[in-house]
Structure 1
């Protein structure tokens, strides 16, 4: 792979070995192990590397770090699993339908579930029960630290984070596929009458749509391709049904590109020039690509929706004070009490500053840089 450094080539080789259940061979010649670890962390597949790479290959300090990670991550996974079980019981007792999403389901297709790295647990739930959900989470010591048009994020120290989705997608630059059908196709868990299990085909569809969303917002990392590969190889997929749904989302060409690249990459086949170019971008940044690229797209979309020209001040104000439609989707109480809109603008500003002020600062800096380029 002439496109990549030897560290990146070995990184991809180790991932391929991990998926196939093989132990990777020791690299020939010198390798910058610190760079390899940096790549794996940015791509959020550190757990895969830690699980399959023999420690004797590594310099002492890096080997110790990797070994400690394995131990601490195992403890975290056990704690998260126990916490999820408690929450699932409460959700059932309160009659709240729910469904595990993304990595919480896809991890079952990995050789070892611990290989699928996750910073939180994503759950789709019946949004009519939002008030009850918030009460449950607060009763367990959680703080609602972030919310958006389609999800509520809860955190409890030291390691517990749950993202509860009211819907799977909201309108981002015109891409808002309707995934309400997942409830109809799901099966009910035998041990919990409110726990729904998404069908494998819908899991694949959601993985593709989720990948596409991140792709257009800034890019994706190689972990997305691993997920797609394992679903293609191990899940029970209805290909005709998937083709129809993919076509309805107008993602036929994109899905074909991702599917063929995933299969070729992890089956060890030779990649085409187009596939190499796609992969080069995939491994160049983090698991969610390049945030600056996503910010440029977001800013350009805003400008186009306002006649092709707008100031940075106007854009910044739109981020601080989003549309009333956005506010109503995020704060459902406004449907009954619209006069509270000014209060929730202030509430949102204060809360976002406290919980995520660094992100806002980075966004303003990025927009300033974009503006300077265009002047």
Structure 2
């Protein structure tokens, strides 16, 4: 999609979401923009349900698209209800084993929307572990020493896998990155997190003990939450991880605006800004909040956005909900260019070195064997072969993009 069409269709999509959030009839679609184009952008960013409640007030949507769009909103509601019930079942089963849980992201944010059909959910993320209180410092994983806490984490992985299997789930991944992954037909996907960020993240030190900021539920000793302020900071941290890696879509910007509408007035903003400064997210949050305010703050306008917000919106719309491989290559190469002071050749060589000698990727694929240094060269070769066999088109596209980059 060309930039001009993307800007006009994207701006109208923002208008539809804003109207849906504030129960305002949508203005006519701009000349030259098609409903199918707007819907495709909504689908690419997983905001079909949000946009539908603005779009439904228009009578010029093609009949087949109107039926499809309305059905997508109903499916969003169906998934939401099913996920909520399933999450309670999972948490109850884990609590019987002594595991504590702290729901995160979509599971909480969906409750802030004016209609349950608005916020789509692909999976359920939560922090889990066997935890104990620390004097004046919240909680931590059980254990007096680092070794004991590592053993506790390992025990937690074994227990959660057994419990999820007992509930009919199959394991998608275990001990990979910072979370496990389980799925069950027809729609359920749970991602229990041992920690909030990977060890290579620039925010690893900040979130070294995420339970330090956890607040225990007064009715359920195994259920925890973050304060509104810490929840907001984590939403920004998680969004930036995707934004900085392979891009992300506009859904988290809407999440930001909805959360601020519900809780922003009562939040301790001195604390929030202090934590954002510590995590290096102060500028990112300001950019996101500016777009959230002008795009989803209730003005329900279709006027062009200011340059900075329009530029950010274009980046997000093109990226899609979870980013894409093209954006990943661009972002990684841009970082190499900055590192090599604009020298494109050096940047490309640095890019290749980083991709070919990726210790973090080895940790994901071979969490135990990769800890043995003499095995790493052989494991890298296995990683290359595995990638070529499983993702030949993706790798070919990455090489092509790198060659063509200017």
TM over 0.5: yes
Q: Which residue of 2 aligns with 1:145?
A: 172
TM-score by length of 1: 0.82
Q: Which residue of 2 aligns with 1:368?
A: 399
Contact 2:8 2:33 in 1 (8 A): yes
TM-score by length of 2: 0.76
- Classify 1:119/1:5 alpha carbon distance in 2 versus 1 (closer, same or farther; 3 Å): same
- Classify 1:177/1:17 alpha carbon distance in 2 versus 1 (closer, same or farther; 3 Å): farther
Instruction: Show CA shifts across 1:264-317 (max 9, x none).
Output: 222338743222222222223312344312134446768979x96759986665
Q: Which segment is superposed worse, 197-206 or 279-288?
A: 279-288
Q: Which residue of 1 aligns with 2:136?
A: none
How far apart, CA to CA, are the structure 1 residues paired with 2:203 and 2:25? 41
Matched, 1:39 2:17: no
Contact 1:121 1:161 in 2 (8 A): yes
2:159 to 132, 141, 146: 132
Q: Which segment is superposed worse, 244-253 or 272-281?
A: 272-281
Contact 1:8 1:39 in 2 (8 A): yes
How far apart, CA to CA, are the structure 2 residues paired with 1:374 and 1:78? 45
How far apart, CA to CA, are the structure 2 residues paired with 1:323 and 1:291? 18
Instruction: Show CA shifts across 1:324-348 (max 9, x none).
Output: 98369x736988xx69978x959x9
How far apart, CA to CA, are the structure 2 residues paired with 1:372 and 1:4? 26
2:90 to 73, 87, 94: 87
The structural deviation recorded for 1:194 is: 0.8
Contact 1:229 1:259 in 2 (8 A): yes
Q: Secondary structure at the match of 2:181?
A: strand
Q: Which segment is superposed worse, 139-148 or 19-28?
A: 19-28
Contact 1:182 1:198 in 2 (8 A): no
Q: Which residue of 1 aligns with 2:367?
A: 331
Q: Which residue of 1 aligns with 2:185?
A: 157
How far apart, CA to CA, are the structure 2 residues paired with 1:212 and 1:2? 26
Q: Which segment is superposed worse, 72-81 or 93-102?
A: 72-81
Contact 1:295 1:363 in 2 (8 A): no
1:278 to 312, 318, 329: 312
The structural deviation recorded for 1:38 is: 0.5
How far apart, CA to CA, are the structure 1 residues paired with 2:100 and 2:379? 31
The structural deviation recorded for 1:15 is: 0.8
How far apart, CA to CA, are the structure 1 residues paired with 2:389 and 2:51? 32
**Structure 2: runs of 5 or more not aligned:** 130-152, 341-345
Q: Which residue of 1 aligns with 2:270?
A: 240
How far apart, CA to CA, are the structure 2 residues paired with 1:197 and 1:146? 25
Contact 1:150 1:166 in 2 (8 A): yes
The structural deviation recorded for 1:110 is: 1.1
**Structure 1: runs of 5 or more not aligned:** none
- Classify 1:181/1:265 alpha carbon distance in 2 versus 1 (closer, same or farther; 3 Å): farther
Q: Secondary structure at the match of 1:257?
A: helix
Matched, 1:288 2:291: no
Q: Which residue of 2 aligns with 1:201?
A: 229
Q: Which residue of 1 aligns with 2:220?
A: 192
How far apart, CA to CA, are the structure 1 residues paired with 2:361 and 2:255? 37
Contact 2:216 2:224 in 1 (8 A): yes
Matched, 1:11 2:16: no
Q: Which residue of 1 aligns with 2:22?
A: 20
Matched, 1:98 2:128: no
How far apart, CA to CA, are the structure 2 residues paired with 1:4 and 1:312? 30
Contact 2:80 2:116 in 1 (8 A): no
Q: Which residue of 2 aligns with 1:167?
A: 195
Paired positions, count: 363
